[in-house]
Structure 1
C-alpha cells in the first residue's frame, strides 16, 4: 500500500530557542488548520499530517463498501506547534520517537461478533453496526503490514462471565438488560472477520479498559514496547478508556482514527477531540504505516 504524500507546508516560524532546538510553529492557514499533530521518524521532529477526510468510503472485512462516513471538520485546535526534540533542553537531549518499530505495538480492541455483526448483541439492539464494520478491513490491512515490519499485534477479547461479574458491574446500566454480550464460549464472543495470527497475542478482558486485570501492561513491558497504536470498537468506550489508562501508565499513545469505529459519529468525534486535546496523537493508518516503514528502513 503506497501512502499519499504529506502536503507541503509553509516554512517553520521559530517561537523560542535557536537552531539547535526549540519550539516552532506553522502559520495557521486554511490548508494547515485541518492537519493533525503526529510524530514522523523521517525528520526527527513532530510534523503535521492530514487526517482522514470526510466522505471517504470505507470497506468492511466482508468486502462490502459502506457509505462515506461524515466527520467533524472542526475537531482540532486552531493553533498548532511542534517541538524539535532532538536537542530540546526540556527532554535533556532524549528524542522520543513514537514511530520506532522496536518500541511500537498495535492494540486491537473488541472486534467481536456481538459488537460488529448485525445478528450480534449490539446489532439486535438496533445499533448501527455498519459504522463499526466499515473499519474492519482497514484494521486487517494495518495489522498485516505491522506484522511484516516486526511490530507486535495484541487482540483484546471482551468476555463477560455472569458467574464472576460483580453485582456493581452488572448494575452499571441504569436500565435493566435481559441479556449479556460476549459470553465465554459463544459465537458472540468470537472475533468478527479478523483472524489473529500465530505470532499475535490474544488477551481476554472483562472491563472497558484493556489494562484492567488483563496482563497487558506486563506483556508490553516484557516486549519493551512503549508506543501504542489503538484500533477497534467502540471508539468512545473501550478504545478511549484503554487509551486513557495507557497514557496514565506512561505509554505514548496514538488513536488510529480510521481504524476505530463507533455507533454514532458524535461519539467517535468526541473521542477524537478528547485524545487530540490532551492524551496523544490522532492520525490515519496510512501515515502511521508510512512512519513505521521509514523507521524500519523500508521508506
Structure 2
C-alpha cells in the first residue's frame, strides 16, 4: 500500500498511468546519498520549524541509509540551512523570513546519530532546493554522480524542491519514503505522489539500499 492511497480518489492513479505518468527509475552507475535538513530544528518542537515525533520516528531509517552509504563509500551530502544567508536574503519559507528566527533555526546542529564525518559534504543553503545558489551540481559532476537517493525533510518543502531541480538537471532520483518526513501527513503523501508521477521513484529504505548497491 502506497502512502498516498488514502488520499488519492479512486481511479485517479490508473487514469494518470494510462496517460504515461508514473513508471520506475533505476539507479545508474554512480549514486550519491542526499540527506536534506535533518537538524534538530526540524526534529525538535523546541523550534518553530520542528516536525515533532514523526522526525524522531524516521531518524533510524535515515541513519540506516547513511550507514549503508558509508559502507559503500559512495558520496554523501548532508544539507543544512545557512544562517548568514537566510538573515540577509530570507529563509526557505515565509516563517523563516524573520532574521532572528532564521538564525536560530539554521544554527541548530545535526542530531548525534547523524554527526557528519570528515569525508562528508555538509552543504549550507538559504533556500528550499539544495541546488539553488550552492555548488552541489559541481560536487556531483566532479564525483561522476548520475543518481540521487534522497531522504530528509520536509517532504513538501526542501525535499520536493531538491528533487524537482535534480530531475531538471538530468539526475535519476530515488526518494526513500520512510526516511522522509513532514509536519503534515497529507502534504507528505501528496508530494510523494507527485514525485512518483513526474520526477523520480518513491521507494522504501530497503529498496533504496538495494538500488545503492552492495
TM-score when normalising by structure 1: 0.60
What residue in structure 2 maps to residue 132 of structure 1? 55
Structure 1 residues 110-155: Cα deviation after superposition (integer angstroms, max 9, x where no partner): 01111111323324xxxx4111221111101111012212221100
Q: Is 1:224 aligned with 2:156? A: no
Q: Distance in 2 between matches of 1:285 and 1:292?
A: 10
User: Residue 159 of structure 1 contacts residue 183 of structure 1 at CA under 8 Å; is this kept in 2?
Assistant: no
Residue 37 of structure 2 is aligned to residue 110 of structure 1: yes
Secondary structure of the residue aligned to 1:231 is strand
The structure-2 alpha-carbon separation of the partners of 1:162 and 1:222, relative to structure 1 and needing over 3 Å to count, comes to closer
User: Over alpha carbons, which structure has the higher Rg?
Assistant: 1
Q: 1:78 aligns with which of 14, 24, 27?
A: 14
Contact 2:83/2:102, CA 8 A, preserved across alignment: yes
User: Normalised by the size of structure 2, how large is the TM-score?
Assistant: 0.82
Cα 1:162–1:249 change in 2 (3 A) is: closer
Partners of 2:187 and 2:205 in 1: CA distance: 20
Answer 1 or 2: which has greater strand percent. Answer: 1
The correspondence for 1:214, drawn from 120, 129, 134, is 134
Query: CA-to-partner distance for each residue in 1:88-116, whole Å, 9 max, x for gaps?
Result: xxxxxxxxx8424x411110010111111
For 2:99 and 2:132, how far apart are their aligned partners in 1? 25
> In the alignment, which residue of structure 2 is the partner of 1:119?
46
Q: Which runs of 4+ in 1 moved over 4 A?
A: 174-178, 182-185
Task: Give the match's secondary structure for 1:77.
Answer: helix
- Answer yes or no: is the 8 Å Cα contact 2:35–2:77 preserved in 1: yes
Match of residue 57 from structure 1: none
Q: How many residues align?
A: 203
**Within the alignment, does 1:181 sit opposite 2:102 as a pair?**
yes
Alpha-carbon shift at residue 256 of structure 1 (Å) = 1.0
| 1:150 counterpart = 2:69 | no
In terms of fraction of residues, the more helix-rich structure is 2
Change (3 A) 1:207 1:172: closer
Match of 2:21 in 1: none
Unaligned runs of 5+ in 2: 19-24
| Mapped pair 1:288 → 2:213 | no
Deviations 1:232-291 (A, max 9, x none): 111100010011011111111111111101011011011111101111111001012123
RMSD of Structure 2 on Structure 1 (CA): 2.9
Contact 1:108 1:154 in 2 (8 A): yes
Question: Would you say the 8 A contact 1:106–1:151 is kept in 2?
Answer: yes
Q: In structure 1, list runs of 5 or more residues that go unmatched.
A: 1-33, 35-50, 52-70, 82-96
Higher RCO, 1 or 2 (CA under 8 Å, sep at least 6)? Answer: 2
Structure 2 equivalent of residue 99 of structure 1: 27
Q: Is 1:247–2:167 an aligned residue pair?
A: yes
Q: Distance in 1 between matches of 2:125 and 2:97?
A: 22
Displacement of 1:175 in angstroms is 10
Moved more, 114-123 or 103-112: 114-123
1:262 to 161, 175, 182: 182
